[in-house]
A and B are shown apart, each in its own frame.
Chain A
Amino acid sequence: MSAVETGVAVLEARGLVKRYGSVTALDGADFDLRPREILALIGDNGAGKSTLIKALSGAIAPDEGQILLNGNPMHFRAPLDARRHGIETVYQDLALAPALDIAENLFLGRELRRPGVLGIVFRMADRQRMLREARTHIANLKIRVGSVTQPVETLSGGQRQGVAVARAAAFASRVVIMDEPTAALGVKESGQVLDLIREVREHGVPVVLISHNMPQVFEIADRVHIMRLGRRVATITPKSHTMAEAVAYMTGATSFKTET
C-alpha cells in the first residue's frame, strides 16, 4: 500500500483478524472506502462480511490489524465510539422504536435540549426544533412520509427503512454503513431505498452496503468488495466485470490477479 492510496481512503482496514474460539471469522482482511462512492460488500455466508462490518462500526474489536479513518488509526470500543467519529450504521431490522414518531426516532439517543435552565437542569427536549430539523432531513433525502409526527409503526417497510437511512445520513459526517437494507423489502420499496442510498452519496458521504442481491449490487455500486474465507479476494467494478465473474470470485472458482 502506498502512502498516496492511504491518503485517498476515507475508511481503511489492514490485516484484520478476528477469531471466535477455533473459528477464524476474519483472516487478515483488508478494506478501503473512497470518498463519494458506494462500495458493495459481497461474499458467501460465513465469508466474514458481518464481522468486518462489526469491526468497522465498533461493535467488535479485532484481535489483530488496524482500522484507519482518514489515515488516523482508530480503536473503537463500542458503536458509540464509531458514531462519535462520524460513522453511522443502519441495522437490518432492529433500528427503530415503532411506537415513537419519526422525529423522535431520528433524534433518539441525541435529543436536542431546550436552551438555558429548562434544558440543562430539567433536561427538557426541544420538540419544535427537532420537528423542524427532522422535516429538513426527510426532505433532503426526498423521503415521502405524511408528517414527522407520525408513529413509525404506521409506515410501510420502505418508509421505515427510509427513516433509518435518514437518521444515519443526518448524523454521519464520514461514513454510512448499511447491513442488507433491502432484505425485507418488496421490489418497489427496494428501488426507493436504492435511490436513497444514491442520495446519501450525492450529499458527499460514502456508503458501505452489504447485500446478497447481485443485480442490485451491480445496479448501484461504484466498486464491489468481494470476500471469501475471511479475506478480501477482489475489488471489482460493475463496468469491468460481470455478475458471473463476481460469483466465481466469491465461491473460489477463479482467483483474482490484479488489484484495481
Chain B
Amino acid sequence: MARLNRTGTEEASVLARARALSTLGPLLALILASVFFTTRTDRFLTSDNFSLIFQQIAVVGIIAIGQTLVILTAGIDLSCGAVMAFGTIVMTRLAVTHGLNPFEAIALGVAVCTGFGALNGLLVTGLRLPPFIVTLGTLNIAFALTHITSNEETIANLPVPLTFFGDTFRLSQTSITYGSVLALGLALVTWFVLTQTIGGRHIYATGNNPDAARLAGVRTRRVLIAVYTSAGLLYGIAALVLIGRTGVGDPQAGQSDNLDSITAVVVGGTSLFGGRGGVVGTLIGTLIVGIFRNGLQLMGVAAIY
C-alpha cells in the first residue's frame, strides 16, 4: 500500500511537471529562433530592432489574447481583424470628420467592437451555429461597414489622444511604445482571470466538455457570450493601439490579423479543440511569429513569402 502510494504521487508529480512543460516547447522554439537569427544577421540582436519587434507585435498580440479566449472554448473568431479595422475607422471618422471629443470617439469605437463580439456570442449560443460560420459572417459585415464609412480613404490628422499608444518611452537603450505595455498588461489581466478565477475554470470546462460543464451547473451559454464579448472589447483596444502605431485610420488594416492571431495562439500551444492552453503560450507564440517575420526580413527574404 505504501509502495503504491509512493509510485502514485511520483507519477502525479511527473504529470504535473509535464503539464507545466506545455509552454516550455514554444519557449524553446522562441529561444532557438532568436539564436538562429542572431547568428545570421548582426542587426537582429540590437535594442532598436527589439523595440521595432515589440511595436510590430503589440496589435496582433492584443487580438491574439481575445482569440485565445475564444479558442479555449473550442471556438474560432475570424472576424477579429475586420472588427478592429472598423473600430479604427469609427474612432478616426468621429474624431476627425465629425469633430467629436477624441475620448468619446475612442469610447464609441471600443463599444462598437465590443458590440460585434456580443453579436458573435449571441449568434453562436442562440442560433447554435458553428463559430466559424458566425464569425465569417460578421467578418464580412464589419469589412463592408469599414469600406462604406471610410469611403476607401485613409483618415489622417488625428488628435493627440488617439495616437497616444504609439508614443514611446526609453527603458535603458530600448524605446518602448505604451501600446506594448498595454498589451502586456492585458495579457496579465487575462492570465489572472483564466488561472485564478472561477470564470476562468468555467471557460476551460466549457471548451473541454460542454455537456459535462452544463450538467455540473456551469452556465455555458453565459460563458460563451462573455468570452466573445470580451474578445470584441480586446479588438477595440487593439484598434486604438493600431491607430497609435500607424498614425492614421486605415480601411485596409487588419486583413491578415485573423490568421496571424490564430497562428500565434496555436504556436503558443493552445489546442484548437478547446480546454487546453493559455495566455502565456499566446504571448510566446506572438513573439515567435513576430521574430520570424522580423528575422526573415533582416535576412533579406522578400516580404511576400
A: residues with CB less than 8 A from B are: 79-80, 83, 91, 94-100, 104, 108-111, 113, 122-125, 144-147, 149-151, 154
Interface of B is mostly: helix
B197:A122 contact, CB within 8 angstroms: yes
A146:B9 contact, CB within 8 angstroms: yes
> Residue B213 at the A interface, CB < 8 A?
yes
B212:A95 contact, CB within 8 angstroms: yes
Scan residues 190-229 of chain B and give those whose CB is less than 8 A from a CB of chain A: 196-201, 204-205, 208-209, 211-213, 215-218
Residues of chain A lying within 8 A (CB to CB) of residue B15 = 146, 150-151, 154
B212:A147 contact, CB within 8 angstroms: no
| Min C-beta distance of B305 to chain A, whole Å | 36
B275:A124 contact, CB within 8 angstroms: no
> Residue B16 at the A interface, CB < 8 A?
yes
Q: Tell me the complex Cα distance, A149–B11, Å.
A: 11
A146:B12 contact, CB within 8 angstroms: yes
Interface of A is mostly: loop
Residues of chain B lying within 8 A (CB to CB) of residue A97 = 204-205, 208-209, 212-213, 275
B: residues with CB less than 8 A from A are: 4, 7-13, 15-16, 19, 196-201, 204-205, 208-209, 211-213, 215-218, 275-276
Residues of chain B lying within 8 A (CB to CB) of residue A110 = 216-217
Residues of chain B lying within 8 A (CB to CB) of residue A79 = 215
A98:B208 contact, CB within 8 angstroms: yes
Q: Tell me the complex Cα distance, A233–B16, Å.
A: 52
| Min C-beta distance of B94 to chain A, whole Å | 33
B12:A150 contact, CB within 8 angstroms: yes
Residues of chain A lying within 8 A (CB to CB) of residue B11 = 146, 150
Q: Tell me the complex Cα distance, A125–B204, Å.
A: 14
A125:B8 contact, CB within 8 angstroms: no
A113:B209 contact, CB within 8 angstroms: no
B204:A99 contact, CB within 8 angstroms: yes
Q: Across the two chains, which residue of chain B brings its CB closest to A125?
A: B198
| Min C-beta distance of A157 to chain B, whole Å | 15
A100:B204 contact, CB within 8 angstroms: yes
Name 18 A/B residue pairs within 8 A (Cβ), A-sorted.
A80-B217, A94-B215, A97-B213, A98-B208, A98-B209, A100-B204, A100-B205, A104-B205, A109-B213, A109-B217, A110-B216, A123-B198, A123-B199, A145-B8, A147-B8, A147-B16, A149-B12, A151-B15
A108:B201 contact, CB within 8 angstroms: yes
| Min C-beta distance of A234 to chain B, whole Å | 31
